[in-house]
Amino acid sequence: MLLVLFAAEGVTILSVHQLLTLHFFLGMLIVGPVALKACAVLYRFVRYYTGAEEYRRKGPPAPLLRMLGPVVLITSLAVIGTGIMLAVTGPSGLRTWLFLHRASFVLWFGAMTIHVLAYVWRLPRLVSGDLASRAGRRAHEVLAGRPARWLLLTASILMGLLLAKLTVHRAGLWFVIR
């Protein structure tokens, strides 16, 4: 879901002046799913380092990805946070917040490119594992967690939609300075 939302947001960057309202809306929509992903990653991190057997059995990520993880998380929060600050301050915060938003985006894009390229190869296996009807313990674990994953994902998207709907009018402030 995040890859699709990030791709849509990326398309708006190509013509941000014409697609500013959509860029703004998608940016706010992404807040919910990114918050969910950040919480899920932090939960797995804590469970692994507190010695939970099911997380220890799986093992840690590769060393490069282990070092990259905090960079992805921090830059994601920075891009979203500076975007929210641009919405809050409007054009009056143009110089500082826009510079920080752009700079954090460049850093985020580099980190996310490495992150996505490292994990995209697992995507078909993860999706097929979630959809497959294989018998056994792993299938039971995957299927047992599916309703909770879908509920959390739906809730995060609804939260993002609500935030986007409540704040999209603030994009109009930026049309004054064009």
Kindly report, residue by residue over 40-62, the tens digit of the pLDDT: 999 988 988 898 888 888 888 88
What is the DSSP annotation of 11-54?
HHHTTTTTSHHHHHHHHHHHHHHHHHHHHHHHHHHHHHHTT-HH
pLDDT recorded at residue 135: 46
pLDDT recorded at residue 132: 55
**What is the full per-residue pLDDT of the chain (178 aa) written as tens digits?**
898 999 999 999 999 889 999 999 999 999 999 999 999 999 988 988 898 888 888 888 888 888 999 999 999 999 999 999 999 888 887 789 999 999 999 999 999 999 999 888 887 876 666 555 554 455 455 445 778 888 999 999 999 999 999 999 988 887 765 5
Helix (H/G/I), strand (E/B), else coil: 133: coil
**Who's near 31: CB < 8 A, 6+ residues apart?**
80, 84, 159, 160, 163
- Residue 90's region, left for phi above 0, alpha for psi from -120 to 50, else beta, is left
Phi, psi of 50 (to 5 degrees): -95, 5
pLDDT recorded at residue 44: 87
pTM equals 0.82
Nearest by Cα to 97 from 82, 78, 81 = 82
